[in-house]
Chain A
Amino acid sequence: MAIIRYAKDSYELEDDQSVLDCLTHRGVAVPFSCRSGVCQTCLMRATGGTPTEASQQGLKNSLTLQNYFLPCVCYPETDLEVALPDDADAQVVIPATVKSLRLLNDDIMHVELECHAQIDYRAGQFINLFQHQTLGRSYSLASVPYEDDHLHLHVRRLPQGLVSGWIHDELRPGQTVEIRGPGGDCFYIPGDTEQSMMLIGTGSGLAQLYGIIRDALSQGHTGPIHLFHGSRDLNGLYLFAELRELMAQYANFNYIPCLSGDDVPAGYATGRAHDIAFEQIPSLKNWRMFLCGHPEMVRVTKRKAFLAGAAMKNIYADAFNVSQP
């Protein structure tokens, strides 16, 4: 019979037993509800082996690509190594050397990291960067794995931010830090290349959108791609030149810089990014959506996008989760 490995223990699967039953019967605390592959409460990830096709039915494709599955309807014939989505030890710690640090604007630092071991990620995912063993923060990746040699982060200095303050003030090129990851399911999935895409981001939420856009364009996405990047003032609209250049290079890419403050020069949209986006494109049926940045913006926009016709499976969102100092 197949062996199920979880944490440091191994469990033998009994006849006609689901992975969920196998684990819970032995006292592993896996949350569950419907036990019939519908509610997705028991979602787990296979870190070794391949989950059955049936156990991935109905999951968002960005989850199936990362080997997530539903253990309540998983009856594997071969061994599986599994983890809960929040298990930190599902990922190994990788040392990485700081290659360069440069300010993108007054408070966002571009951090370039060279990993000491191979890290498989998709543009748009995030990593956790550790100042020391128990103090780490999540940062989105702006790099594209097959185009950029190193990992790129956009770290905004937060008021009283422990890790961001340390990155801005003390970290130096040549230093080695520890990272863990990648994580997150907000990324471009190849296919449906003619689909229209809308990306809305505020502040340094642009990091992952920049990665996702370059990934989509490089993979031959031909449908229109509209990026709405919002900030209060001009200083917040970083990567302006790079995005304008990308727009000149790709006819299907459209960059709309949005300013919500008072002083709006010509050439910029006036208002909040998500309001402008819905004004310009009111119907989102069959659109693919990417929403990154301020949690309240992401929450409100997700709902509005859905009500404007975007299918739930086509809405990819990632909100900043700011830790309290």
Chain B
Amino acid sequence: MSEQESLYEQIGGEAAVNAAVDIFYRKVLGDARINTFFEDVDMEKQAAKQKAFLTMAFGGPHNYTGLDMRKGHAHLVSRGLNDSHVDAVIEDLGATLRELGVKEELIAQVAAIAESTRNDVLGR
């Protein structure tokens, strides 16, 4: 494996995102700590958003800005979204990657990217 290979390539690119999205979304919906936030959403649209999120977290191409993150989560913050919920999502993300056999050092990098959105997601 060349040292130049990006995180996204090392994880497996779009194929990895496609493999991860159902597993991740299923974990989120089954997670009692956070699933109330997903109670009334359109599943197709939500799955597409999860895919965009995973692409970004895997270090792939995306056009999301901090402002998008703020706008996209403001209604959830007003419903009580806080640090514990972000923790749960990052945990579910790690568990998803472990299930797919991704190495721990790569999982840590993905978690760090997800972590970097925390303040925007929580509107701070």
A residues near B, CB below 8 A?
Answer: 33-36, 38-41, 57-58, 302-303, 306-307, 311-312
* B22 / chain A contacts, CB cutoff of 8 Å: 306, 311-312
19 contacts between A and B (CB under 8 A): A33-B63, A33-B68, A35-B63, A36-B55, A36-B61, A38-B51, A38-B61, A39-B48, A39-B51, A39-B52, A40-B48, A58-B18, A302-B43, A303-B29, A306-B22, A306-B25, A311-B22, A312-B22, A312-B44
A interface, over-half SS: loop
Contact status of A34 and B30, CB under 8 A, knowing A39-B51, A58-B14: no
In the assembled complex, the Cα of A7 lies from the Cα of B24 at a distance in Å of 39
**Could you tell me the distance in whole angstroms from the C-beta of B72 to the nearest C-beta in chain A?**
9
B16 at the interface (CB under 8 A from A): no
* A34 / chain B contacts, CB cutoff of 8 Å: 52, 62-64
B75 at the interface (CB under 8 A from A): no
Size of interface on B: residues with Cβ below 8 Å to A: 21
B residues near A, CB below 8 A?
Answer: 14, 18, 21-22, 25-26, 29-30, 43-44, 47-49, 51-52, 55, 61-64, 68
Contact status of A36 and B26, CB under 8 A, knowing A306-B43, A312-B44: no
| Pairwise interchain contact A38-B25, C-beta atoms closer than 8 A | no
In the assembled complex, the Cα of A40 lies from the Cα of B61 at a distance in Å of 14
* CB nearest to A185 among chain B residues: B44
* B47 / chain A contacts, CB cutoff of 8 Å: 312
| Pairwise interchain contact A303-B18, C-beta atoms closer than 8 A | no
| Pairwise interchain contact A38-B48, C-beta atoms closer than 8 A | yes
* B51 / chain A contacts, CB cutoff of 8 Å: 38-39, 58
Of B29, B61, B63, which contacts A306 at CB under 8 A? B29
* CB nearest to B21 among chain A residues: A312
* CB nearest to A305 among chain B residues: B43
| Pairwise interchain contact B25-A312, C-beta atoms closer than 8 A | yes
* A41 / chain B contacts, CB cutoff of 8 Å: 48
Contact status of A38 and B43, CB under 8 A, knowing A303-B29, A306-B26, A307-B30: no
